[in-house]
Amino acid sequence: MKSRETILNAVKNNQPALQQLPELNALIAIQYNDKFLQFSTVLKTIGGNVVEIKHTDEIIEYVKNNFSSNQNFVTTLPVLNNIKMLDENLDAHFLENIELAILTALFGVAENGAVWLTDKEIKIRALPFICQHLAVLLYKRDLVSNMQMAYDLIGENNHEFGVFIAGPSKTADIEQSLVLGAHGPKTMTVFVLE
């Protein structure tokens, strides 16, 4: 722990006179009249799918039509009674063959197409990253315009782990060619419920 004292002393001796922290309220962040339109436009641009639904039954229908059946699907949503509930006690390494995970998001952000999930929604931290395809349920009323409003919503919430997810896992490391499905989900579908 010698280095701790050395570093802290050096910081104390070398840091300049105190400069005030800017007031964030003074920064007027962009707001969108149609948050859903902005959210879905951005999310589609970055490779995500947006599906508007009126009832959660439509999720089951959509999954049936768009993902091959007899696959390993899991959900954390009790309302999706045709899909297997996630066993929360499972070792994360056994999630490798999960084809589709359907989770719920706390809110979405219109300016960048991101959705926010915490360990309470995810249950097993590796799940939204290791599954081959990811889907989340989002209520349309839970859309905010920008990231500042997003952090106002998160507030002092005592999550242990939280993540903004914006679209499928991707890379452009090979000659800047965009490839969806780098290490994580190859697709991301957001079901937006009225």
Partner 1 sequence: MSSANAKHPELSTIFNKDEARVDWHDETLWWIRQKRDKAAWTIPEWEELRETASGIKNNVLSNLHEYLIEFEQKAIANGIVVHWAADANEHNEIIHSILQQHKVSQIVKSKSMLTEECGLNEYLAQHSIDVVDTDLGERIVQLANEHPSHIVLPCIHWKKEEIGELFHKHLNTPKGNADPQFLTNAARIHLREKFLTRRIAITGVNFAVAETGEFVVCTNEGNADMGAHLADVHIACMGIEKIIPQRKHLGVFLRLLARSATGQPITTYSSHFKKPNINQQLHIILVDNGRTVQLGREDFRNSLKCIRCAACFNTCPVYRRSGGHSYHTAIAGPIGAILAPNLDMKKYADLPFASTLCGSCSNVCPVKIDIHNQLYKWRQVITEEGYSPKTKTIAMKAMAATLSSPAIFNVAGKAGRWVMKYLPFFVNNRFNPWYKQRNMPAPPQQSFTQWYKKNRS
Whether 86 contacts 75, CB under 8 Å: yes
Residue 57 CB, nearest distance to partner 1 (Å)?
A: 29
CA atoms of 103 and 134, how far apart (whole Å): 8
Closer CB to partner 1, 28 or 70, in the complex: 28
Residues 81-120 that bind partner 1 (CB under 8 A): 92-93, 96, 109, 111-114
Six token digits for residue 87? 């066993």
42 lines the binding site for partner 1 (CB under 8 A)? yes
54 binds partner 1 (CB under 8 A): no
Residue from 60, 101, 130, 190 binding partner 1 (CB under 8 A): 130
**Which of 14, 33, 65, 69 is the binder for partner 1 (CB under 8 A)?**
14
- Residue 85 CB coordination number (10 Å): 13
Q: In the range 163-192, which residues lie near partner 1 by CB under 8 A?
A: 163-177, 179, 181-185
Chain centroid to Cα 171, Å, comes to 17
79 binds partner 1 (CB under 8 A): no
Alpha-helix residue ranges (DSSP H) falling in 35-154? 35-45, 57-66, 119-122, 127-130, 147-154
